[in-house]
């Protein structure tokens, strides 16, 4: 096993360690690392996702660490919580986003994720926070499959004056796609005519659960997969605590079907974004999102028992 990898970036302490993770200021080869990116500066409807990372952490140790769907427990593994990226001291929204992205890149700039077997779970924050981790993974894995679960296409060239808006995250990461990268989108039920035309012309969108799960099944078992999960993918009757809810979404059991497939494949990284804890005062959305995170952590950690 390689030695821990130092990085010289200041992150703020999390409200509590995620699901009992070890708090770390180094990167540990062969393990999964959690980093929070609490930012909602470009959110165009209801803000509050800046509280998402610590909202997930706050509830995490109050639910079971054991997954009955995968027969694994988070206590079976060692994983690390790096804390939250800081936004800097400028009032400008774009400067805050750039400050945190720059720090993310400084943390992981000298790390070969594949060679060191380091996997990252980023907790948002609005969907624009996914830019830095997705671009890192695209650079490191030339044959990466990007799974995009979302209510929205996120293919606008910009929105409300922001080039890197949460409504344009997929458009922006496509700027970094190579010839062997692949995008698969599912859950999309809101977007412009132009966005829908692009998705159909490029055959990225799946319009039924059956087609989506068959597409995941067809991915070679050793091919790297990155999942970017906007929680408004789920129907707001199940998860109302998100900034841009859209009726007609998926439920938890459909996600379990996906997890069972990903558990047999090579999930190398993920992000979970758009949780806005204060919108749902019942706390149900936090619990829902924390269980999603539990399943993804276990999926990435499988095969790493010490």
Give the number of other CB atoms < 10 A from CB of residue 287. Answer: 18
The predicted structure's pLDDT at residue 89: 82
pLDDT, mean over the chain: 92
CB 60 within 8 A of CB 6: no
Residue 161 confidence (pLDDT): 56
Residue 60 scores a pLDDT above 70: yes
Please name the residues in contact with 137: beta carbons below 8 A apart, sequence gap of 6 or more.
Answer: 113, 144, 224, 226, 268, 269
pLDDT one-digit tens code per residue, 254-292: 999 999 999 999 999 999 999 999 999 999 999 999 999
Q: What is the pLDDT of residues 147-177, one digit of tens each?
A: 999 999 999 885 555 656 657 899 999 999 9
Please report which confidence band the pLDDT of residue 304 belongs to, taking 50, 70 and 90 as the band edges. Answer: low
User: pLDDT at position 40, please?
Assistant: 79
0.75 exceeded by pTM: yes
State phi, psi for 10 to the nearest 5 degrees: -90, 125
E strands along 2-143, which residues? 5-6, 22-23, 26-27, 32-37, 66-67, 72-73, 80-84, 119-124
Using only the alpha carbons of the chain, give its radius of gyration. 18
What does the block give as tokens for 252?
Answer: 């938890």
Integer Cα distance of 217 and 147 in angstroms = 13
**pLDDT tens digits for range 15-44:** 988 888 999 999 999 999 999 999 876 655
pLDDT of residue 45: 64
Residue 306's pLDDT is 37
pLDDT score, position 159: 57
Higher pLDDT, 298 or 17: 298
């Amino acid at each position: 096993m390689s030695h821990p990898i130092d990085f010289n970036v200041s992150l703020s302490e999390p409200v509590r360690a995620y699901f009992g993770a070890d708090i770390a200021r180094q990167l540990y080869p062969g393990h999964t690392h959690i980093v929070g990116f609490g930012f909602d500066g470009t959110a165009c409807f209801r803000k509050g996702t800046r509280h998402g990372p610590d909202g997930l952490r706050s509830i995490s140790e109050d639910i079971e660490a054991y997954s009955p769907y995968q027969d694994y427990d988070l206590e079976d593994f060692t994983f690390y919580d790096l804390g939250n990226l800081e936004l800097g001291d400028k009032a400008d929204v774009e400067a805050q986003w750039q400050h945190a992205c720059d720090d993310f890149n400084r943390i992981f700039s000298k790390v070969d994720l594949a060679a060191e077997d380091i996997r990252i779970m980023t907790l948002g924050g609005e969907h624009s926070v996914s830019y830095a981790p997705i671009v890192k993974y695209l650079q490191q894995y030339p044959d990466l499959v990007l799974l995009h679960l979302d209510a929205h296409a996120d293919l606008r060239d910009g929105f409300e004056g922001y080039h890197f808006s949460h409504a344009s995250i997929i458009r922006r990461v496509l700027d970094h796609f190579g010839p062997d990268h692949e995008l698969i989108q599912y859950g999309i039920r809101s977007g412009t005519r132009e966005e829908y035309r692009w998705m159909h012309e490029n055959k990225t969108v799946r319009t039924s659960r059956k087609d989506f799960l068959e597409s995941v099944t067809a991915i070679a078992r050793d091919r790297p997969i990155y999942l970017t999960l906007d929680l408004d993918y789920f129907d707001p009757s199940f998860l109302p605590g998100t900034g841009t809810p859209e009726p007609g979404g998926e439920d938890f059991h459909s996600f379990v079907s996906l997890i069972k497939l990903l558990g047999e494949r090579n999930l190398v990284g993920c992000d979970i974004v758009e949780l806005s804890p204060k919108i749902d005062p019942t706390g149900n959305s936090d619990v829902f999102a924390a269980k999603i995170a539990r399943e993804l952590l276990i999926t990435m950690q499988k095969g790493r028992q010490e």
